[in-house]
Structure formats: structure tokens, C-alpha cells
Amino acid sequence: MTHRTAAPPRSESPTAEEDVGDEREIATERETAEFNPEDLEDEHASDAIDSESTDEDAPRNAASRWLVRPSLNAVGAALVVLVLAGLATAAIALVIVHRNSDRAGERDLALLGAARQEVVNLISPSVKDPTGSANRIAFDATGQWLAEFRGVQNNFVGAINDSKTDSTGEILGAGIERHNPDGSTTVLVTAVSKVSNSSGAKDDPRTWRLRVDVVQAAGGYKLSKVEVVP
């Protein structure tokens, strides 16, 4: 009697090849499930919406920042106004200073011109017209100097006549020494005169160094004080 060996029962577990095949099918199904064109379109649409929202919100955010910091903006605007006001004030001040400087310069020039001419009249008496020479000196004088000259005016005219003096003066230099609190201006003047007289002088030079005070009076600038400087 022949005995048949029973075939071993078939194993229920899959072979290695079956496992690999199953894993590939699962991966494919997952990729198919994960990649969906509609989902891609939805993502793009969402990004576009987010972008539009960001663009629309940008002005609002800027406005919000402006409203959130009103005090800082007000301070900045105030500083700008102050700076502009300061610049305008400085410009006006410069114009005023420049104008005042120009006026002071013009006044000093006029004052020096008057001082030079009046000193020339003082050192240029002429026997040809002694009274006229004295009158010119008196016309150029005021205050203390006018009082002093009036006291000797007649003697001055007589001395010119007696000595036959004829003098021609020339200014060598003149400059302002100081402006005084009483409104007068002290001027230093250097001059020379050529003197001819009955004593034998013939255009003999004589140098003068005078300190005179000049004031503005009726008729223009006049000498209020005359002093001979050694």
C-alpha cells in the first residue's frame, strides 16, 4: 500500500515579490490621492486672494500707523514750522543788519567828508577875504567850538589883515576814533597848509594834527570841539 505524503499547507503570508507589488500600488494610490489639479487651482486662488487682501490693506495699515502716532506727526510738523520760521527770522535779521550796516557806512562817509572840508576851511584863511574866512569857520561850528570861536572871531579877522596871511590847506588823512555816547563822533585829522605872510613866509608848509568832534546839526554835520594834538 502506497502512502502519499500530504502537501504542506499553503502559507497565507505574501511573498517578498507580492509585498513589493502591494507597496507600489499603495504609493501610487497615495500620490494619486495627494495630487489633485483642483486642489492646485484652489491654492493659487487662495494666494491671489491673500495678495489682493494685502494690497488693499496696505493703505489702511499706513493710515493706521499715521493715526496711531498722531503726537509724533504733530511734533514733526511743529518742528518743520519752527525751522522755517527760524530761517525766515534769520533772513530778515540779516537784511536788517545789512541795511543798518549800509546806513552806518554811508553816515560815516558823510561825517568824514564834512570833517575833512571843515578842517580845510579852518586852516585856510585868506587875506583876500578874512571876514568870509571867519564866517565859513563859524558856519561849520556848533556847541562849545562855536562859542569859543565867536569869542575870538574879530581878533581872528584883524590878525589875518595885519599879517597879510594867505593859507591853503590840504587833508592828508582822516579817520573815526570813536562814536561817543552823546551822539558826537571823534575824528582824527592830519593836514598840511602852505602859508604865505608879511613876515616872509612863502608857501611854507605847516603840519596839523587835530582831534575834532562832529555832530549832526541844522545844516548838516558840524564841528562841536577842536583840539590840537601834539
What distance in Å separates the CA atoms of residue 156 and residue 35, rounded to the nearest whole number? 130
Which pLDDT does position 2 carry in this prediction? Answer: 44
Count of residues for the chain? Answer: 230
The mean pLDDT value for 144-167 works out to 95
What distance in Å separates the CA atoms of residue 136 and residue 130, rounded to the nearest whole number? 10
Q: Which helix (H) or strand (E) holds 55?
A: helix 37-68
Q: Flag whether 213 is in a domain.
A: yes
Query: Could you give the 3-state DSSP secondary structure of residue 220?
Result: strand
What distance in Å separates the CA atoms of residue 178 and residue 122, rounded to the nearest whole number? 22
pLDDT tens for 128-138 read: 999 999 999 99
Asked whether the predicted pLDDT for residue 187 surpasses 50, the reply is: yes
Q: Flag whether 141 is in a domain.
A: yes
Q: Which of 51-60, 181-190, 196-205, 210-219 has the lowest mean pLDDT?
A: 51-60
What distance in Å separates the CA atoms of residue 121 and residue 119, rounded to the nearest whole number? 5
Which pLDDT does position 144 carry in this prediction? Answer: 95
- Please report which confidence band the pLDDT of residue 219 belongs to, taking 50, 70 and 90 as the band edges: confident
Task: Report CA torsion sign: 198, 203, 205, 206.
Answer: positive
CATH number of the domain to which 122 belongs: 3.10.450.230
The mean pLDDT value for 148-174 works out to 95
- Please report which confidence band the pLDDT of residue 16 belongs to, taking 50, 70 and 90 as the band edges: very low
Q: Flag whether 71 is in a domain.
A: no
For residue 121, the enclosing domain spans 99-228
Tell me the CA distances in angstroms from 8 to 11, 15, 18, 78, 208, one per residue in order. Answer: 9, 16, 20, 101, 156
Question: What is the radius of gyration, based on Cα positions, of the chain?
Answer: 56
Q: Flag whether 166 is in a domain.
A: yes
Q: Flag whether 161 is in a domain.
A: yes
Looking at the structure of the chain, the number of domains it has is 1
Q: Flag whether 76 is in a domain.
A: no
- Please report which confidence band the pLDDT of residue 218 belongs to, taking 50, 70 and 90 as the band edges: confident
Q: How many distinct helices (H) and strands (E) make up the chain?
A: 5, 4
Q: Flag whether 212 is in a domain.
A: yes
Q: Report yes or no on whether pTM surpasses 0.75.
A: no
Q: Flag whether 11 is in a domain.
A: no
